[in-house]
A and B are shown apart, each in its own frame.
Chain A
Amino acid sequence: MKLKLKHIIAAALLVLLFSSAADAQCIDLVKTKGFTYLDTAKYIPEARFNALPLREGDDVDIYKSFFKGRNYRIVVVGAENMPKLNFKVTNFQRQVLYDSNITKEESWDFVSDKNQNLIISVEVPKADKDKKPQSGCVAVVVGFAY
């Protein structure tokens, strides 16, 4: 009984510890890898935090406003243990404006030709059938230039 209880407490503490560590990883991912790909000397990072932990096979849609004449860079990065991520930018009619499967790039630079809400869809490729899916942070960093 004593041993079981010890295990429960240890497990609870580990869950607490790992969840805080995962949280810290996401903001670190944005500020390190995300800002590097964004190139903060050229692009001012927007202020919203668009990062979350995902598993292989998961996907996330981010809805965001873009304004006419603005010069944007969209960067999509994942934690070191994650596979290369795919992302698409579409309008609300799901018309594809950008597909990283074609360009093989982590970022997309564009000038918005109108005021529009777009969807950034990020897909973490599925793990091989015989492997346990990895999980880690995925971040979308958007910046604008004057």
Chain B
Amino acid sequence: MNRKIFFLIFLLGITTWFISSCNSGENADTDDLTGETVDSSDIREEILISMLAPSDMAVMLIDNPALTFNKEIINPSSNFEKYNTNSKIALNIGIYTADLSYASLFEQEQITYDYLDIVKDMSEEIGISQSIEKRHLDMIKNSKLDKDDMLKIINESFMNTDAYLRENNRQKVITMILIGGWVEAQYIAVSLAKDSPKTNPQLTESILAQKISLELMNKALENVKGDKTLLPLKADIDKIYKAYLLMEDNMTDENFKEFCNLIRQVRNNYIV
């Protein structure tokens, strides 16, 4: 009888381990996002801080008829092979999602498709299996879609990822994706602004407007004290916020340029 009980407990243990392995992405090099558990004190019960998704960031910032698509700005697709830790993968899922959203706004179907495919592979690498549906990739590849249709597909795919991560208690991963996406969308915007507030006043206004989304991000990061993965990102966000405050106090060409340089520096650090 005891052996039977032991066997059943062992079987239950193996099953639990197998399910958690499936959820946490065994293929990537391990770091502390794998099999992540979030301490309940890190989560604010009954408060959801809905920071902007990378695709929504791109719309709010760079959906502007006076702008054009510039392939040189975005993170090269060849880079994705070098992201071999879960935290790098999470950050760059956000970065590539912002890039493909930028491409979709200018109806660049091929780039949107290629980058969505990369995001799908990277998501699977960290155990997110239900993000981008094949039918969505096929629709982008085979149908002539306008930017609204592409955006709906991108947003639905992101929502799948978000839902999957929320439901599997992997808030840290979604936070990293959102930070990567926020920084990349800003990087695209400041690149298109050519580091000057005068290049495109509407774009400058959109860049400045994002101070409020950064405030929400700060709120979401309030409880990360001691978290070695999120702490460096929080430090980046704090620096960017201070640069915003400086521009708010004194909006000069120089302060705007400083802001652009800071965004570039943070982004370039994320994509290496």
> Which A residues are closer than 8 A to B by beta carbons?
1-2, 5, 9, 12, 16, 23, 26-27, 30-31, 40, 44-52, 58-65, 67-68, 70, 115-117, 142, 144, 146
Closest B residue to A1 by beta carbon equals B1
Instruction: Report yes or no: A44 in contact with B166, Cβ–Cβ below 8 A.
Output: no
Task: State which of B73-81, B84-92, B157-165, B225-233 sits at the interface with chain A.
Answer: B157-165
**How distant is the Cα of A12 from the Cα of B11 in the complex, in angstroms?**
13
CB pair B56–A117 under 8 Å, yes or no, is no
Contact of A47 among B8, B19, B53 (CB under 8 A): B53
Query: CB-nearest residue of chain B relative to A40?
Result: B152
| Chain A contacts for B183, CB-based, 8 A | none
Task: Assess whether A65 is in contact with B47, with CB atoms less than 8 Å apart.
Answer: no
Please judge, given known A-B contacts A1-B1, A5-B8, A68-B209, whether A49 and B162 are in contact too, CB under 8 Å. Answer: yes
The proximity string for B residues 146-159 relative to A, scoring 1 for CB distances below 8 Å and 0 otherwise, is 00100110111011
**Does B60 have its Cβ within 8 Å of any Cβ on chain A?**
yes
**Known contacts being A5-B5, A40-B152, is A65 close to B52, with CB within 8 Å?**
yes
A132 to chain B, nearest CB (A): 21
Q: How far is the CB of B106 from chain A (nearest CB, A)?
A: 15
Question: Does B142 lie at the interface of the complex (its beta carbon under 8 Å from any beta carbon of A)?
Answer: no
Q: Which single residue of chain B is at the shortest CB-CB distance from A68?
A: B209
What does the 1/0 interface line of B205-227 toward A look like (CB < 8 Å)?
00001011101100100000000
* Chain A neighbourhood of B50, CB < 8 A: 48, 50, 62-64, 142
Docked complex Cα distance between A62 and B256 (Å): 32
Task: State which of A16, A23, A46, A65 has its C-beta within 8 Å of the C-beta of B216.
Answer: A65
Chain A, residue nearest B1 (CB): A1
CB–CB B48/A62 < 8 A: yes
Q: Which residues of A contact B67 (CB under 8 A)?
A: none
Q: Find chain A residues with CB under 8 A from B5 CB.
A: 1, 5
Give residues 17-72 of B contacting A (CB, 8 Å).
19, 46-56, 59-60
**22 chain-A/chain-B pairs, Cβ below 8 angstroms:** A2-B1, A2-B4, A9-B8, A26-B163, A27-B159, A30-B159, A44-B151, A44-B155, A46-B56, A48-B50, A48-B52, A48-B53, A58-B46, A59-B46, A60-B48, A61-B46, A61-B48, A62-B47, A62-B49, A62-B50, A63-B47, A65-B51
Whether A48 lies near B47 (C-beta < 8 A) is no
Q: Which residues of B contact A (CB under 8 A)?
A: 1, 4-5, 8, 12, 19, 46-56, 59-60, 148, 151-152, 154-156, 158-160, 162-163, 166-167, 209, 211-213, 215-216, 219
Residues of A contacting B166 in the complex (Cβ-Cβ under 8 angstroms): 49, 52
Contact between chains at A48 and B56 (CB < 8 Å): yes
Is the Cβ of A46 less than 8 Å from the Cβ of B46? no
Q: How far is the CB of A115 from chain B (nearest CB, A)?
A: 4
Q: Report the separation of the CA atoms of residues A23 and B168 in the bound assembly, to the nearest whole angstrom.
A: 9
Q: Write out the residue numbers on chain B whose beta carbons fall within 8 Å of the beta carbon of A5.
A: 5, 8
Q: Which residue of A lies closest to B209 (CB)?
A: A115
Q: Using CB atoms, name the residue of chain A closest to B165.
A: A49
CA distance A85 to B272 in the complex (A): 47
Q: Once the chains bind, are B155 and A45 in contact (CB under 8 Å)?
A: yes
Tell me which residues across on chain A come within 8 A of B1, comparing CB atoms.
1-2
Q: Give B157 Cβ to nearest chain A Cβ, in Å.
A: 8
CB distance from A47 to the nearest CB of B (A): 4
Q: Are B12 and A9 in contact, with the CB atoms below 8 A?
A: yes
Interface contact B162-A48, CB-CB below 8 Å: yes
Nearest 9 CB-CB pairs, A to B?
A47-B53, A47-B155, A47-B158, A49-B162, A23-B167, A49-B163, A115-B209, A64-B50, A27-B163
